[in-house]
Structure 1
Amino acid sequence: MDTPIVSRRLPENINRIVSKFPEEVQEFFLEMISADRSLQTIANYAYDFALFFDFLQSRNKTIEQVDPILIKRFFRYIENGYERSVYVKLTKVDPQTGEKREEWIERKHFRENSRSGKQRKRASLRSLFRYLVKTHVLDRDPMEEYEDATLRSRSRQKVPVFLTREEALRLIQAISTYHEKKKRKNWLEARDLAIILMLLNTGMRVSELINLNINSIQTDGDLIRVMIIGKGGKERILKLNNKTVEALQEYLKQRPTPHDTKHQDALFLNKNLGRISRKAVSEVVKKYVREANLPPKAAAISPHKLRHTLATLLLANGENLRVVQEILGHSSIQTTQIYTHVINTEKDQALDRLEKLI
């Protein structure tokens, strides 16, 4: 069966999810598209709402019947984790005729409900109900009433996890040692080195990396820069250092030509020659973290933690906070200030002085 179309600007799998929502909720997604929200943000909202509407359906409730008590029960329901449905398109071949047929299947994944995940779901529902009140679908905002009656969780500012300079170098070295062990050097090694160096030396988000095209790399004399489209469609252009440029040029020399024309412009490809996904980039990082045998703290490194690594190394090197904010593409400098807690050398000096006393 063909994928129901809510908007041609949405991927097929997200269209399938959004098409199941009430029409007024589909309108909310069309508003998000008009406001140039990123596809990743829209996808996150779709997954959050799918979870919420599945819950409503299990209670035989409609969106008009939602009240603060029902919202509270929803958050209690997903408190310790939940199953999330995703749609995957598979190509099946008829063993007799050899005819290829595409088929959508639904897969369920259990997910932990992290603190950031809880915050995002609250923000998603908050945006939806505000929109429904503003468009006169609802008379009141049940999410607002729910939050007014809810105890605020304690604000705990977690120190970002990051790699030290030595650990970052070990991660880079692990790429060549991994492929030497496998005895199969190919274009994927060049790609992985370019990806790791790009993340470490620009601090770009994974969503920004996977959306890079070949023409995102710009040459200006001897300088090579990358144009990044960040959150809200904001552009920033960053200079690439020599090691990253060399790795990128080597990868582009070896990069195969995709069979599908819609992937020909993609800078980074997966092993099937399509545009690389967030999950694939995450697997790339995890593979070399294991190979580098990094300590327990560093072993939890993800692509986003490499962004933390760049921020921390820049600030530790005495770079201006505003400059780091521009490099990372933070809309607020308060977000960048999180990293100053990590490199506060006065704490280290105070503990060093303590050594003389005890």
Structure 2
Amino acid sequence: MIGGVVTDRLGEGLAEALEGFRRHLRAERDVSPHTLRAYDGDLRDLYRYAAEVGVREPDGLDVNVLRAWLAQQHARGRSRATLGRRTAAVRAFTAYLHRRGLISKDPGQLLGTPKRPRELPSVLAQDEAHRLLDQMDAEGPLGLRDLAILEVLYGTGVRVSELCGLDIDDLDAERATVRVLGKGNRERTVPIGEPATRAVGHWLRAGRPALAAEQSGPALFLGARGGRLHPTSARRIVHARIAEVGEMSDVSPHGLRHTAATHLLEGGADLRSVQEILGHASLQTTQIYTHVSPERLKQVHRQAHPRGAD
């Protein structure tokens, strides 16, 4: 079995290689469960195709087979993002095979990468963000929790998975910072700001004790039944709270992360600082992920250009 799929139609060599790669991702590269599931699904599709064309050993996965499989994916209407991820999965797999000496050449290096459109998520204007946080119903334990969640998402720009992974001890209220464990188990310290610090403090004093249960552990944010808050629940909370306020764009937790980055840039933060706050390994990712509003550009022009002001 590989990822829950029977590999009877595959040769023993390819089946073992796929299972070994899965163990490699989980144990050696320490990829996230989400990435592991995505790669698992991508390679399940690849080995179905391999079986159909009679490939039963790793050395049968030449560049022609891989390109034909990707062409089939394109013909089936897969998006550019999906094709890009599947290409990355195949490249990682063939690189693994080459390092293990299971193939003499790495055909994945010959694959092109489909260009993904740079689609930016919706963001809130600064006045909308203030209105959302100032007008939220924060009554009762769930209200206190939800306000703290939105304040932290907007105040820090953390990913929703990072938010749900926070423990109580990760918050340093005195220094107004929070310790975040990001992708690849990279730890960073992020400023959280006074409003978010206050909101979390109110939640810890008056909200969390009412929901805490045996299964709560050290989790900072809890679900209605007392367990650690799940990212799916956090996304639902964000959408519901924005809908309650009304008359503004519906954004996801990712949209709040992007909103935070945008407002930092509008306030004069440099790109390198935003990279550190967001936890990006590459500055290029931050350049794609953030954009500078026309108003910010005009402000910079007025301040910096000799004839930018009247």
Say whether the fold is shared (TM-score over 0.5).
yes
Alignment map for 1:1-358 (pairs within 5 Å): 17=3, 22-32=15-25, 33-56=27-50, 61-62=55-56, 64=58, 65-79=60-74, 113-145=78-110, 147=111, 153=114, 156-173=117-134, 175-176=136-137, 186-219=140-173, 222-253=174-205, 254-255=207-208, 256-260=211-215, 263-295=216-248, 298-299=249-250, 301-338=251-288, 341-345=291-295
Gaps in structure 1 of 5+ consecutive residues: 5-15, 83-112, 180-184, 350-358
The question of whether the paired residues in 2 share the 8 Å contact of 1:268 and 1:276 is answered with yes
Q: What is the distance in 2 between the residues matched to 1:62 and 1:69?
A: 15
Structure 2: which amino acid aligns with 1:216? Answer: D
What SS does structure 1 have at the residue aligned with 2:176? Answer: strand
Counterpart for residue 12 of structure 1: none
Q: How many residues align?
A: 289
Amino acid at match of 1:269: L
Partner AA of 1:307 in structure 2: R
Q: In the aligned structure 2, how far is the partner of 1:58 from the partner of 1:155?
A: 29
Residue 315 of structure 1 deviates from its aligned partner by: 0.7
Q: 1:134 to 1:237 in 2, by over 3 A?
A: same
What is the alpha-carbon distance in structure 1 between the residues aligned to residue 57 and residue 230 of structure 2? Answer: 33
1: distance between equivalents of 2:135 and 2:76? Answer: 34
> How far apart in 1 are the matches of 2:163 and 2:106?
37
2: CA distance, partners of 1:163 / 1:57:
49
Q: Structure 1 residue 130: deviation in Å?
A: 0.8
Distance (whole Å) between structure 2 residues aligned to residue 35 and residue 258 of structure 1:
34
CA contact (8 A) 1:269 1:276 kept: yes
Unmatched tracts of structure 2, length 5 or more: 8-14, 300-310
Contact (CA 8 Å) 1:174, 1:288: kept in 2 or not? no
Give the deviation of 1:135 after TM superposition.
0.6
Residue 228 of structure 1: SS of its match in structure 2? strand
Flag the structure with higher strand content. Answer: 1
Q: Root-mean-square deviation (CA), in Å?
A: 3.3
**Equivalent-residue separation in structure 2 for 1:230 and 1:24 (angstroms):** 30
CA contact (8 A) 2:80 2:116 kept: no
> Under a length normalisation based on structure 2, what TM-score does the superposition of the two structures give?
0.78
Q: Letter of the 2:171 partner, please give it.
A: I
Identity %: 31
* SS of residue in 2 equivalent to 1:223: coil
Counterpart amino acid of 2:85?
Answer: R
Query: Cα–Cα, structure 1 residues 134 and 70, in superposed 2: closer, same or farther, change >3 Å?
Result: same
State whether residues 19 and 26 of structure 1, in contact with CA within 8 Å, keep that contact through their aligned partners in structure 2.
no
1:303–1:24 distance in 2 versus 1, CA, 3 Å: same
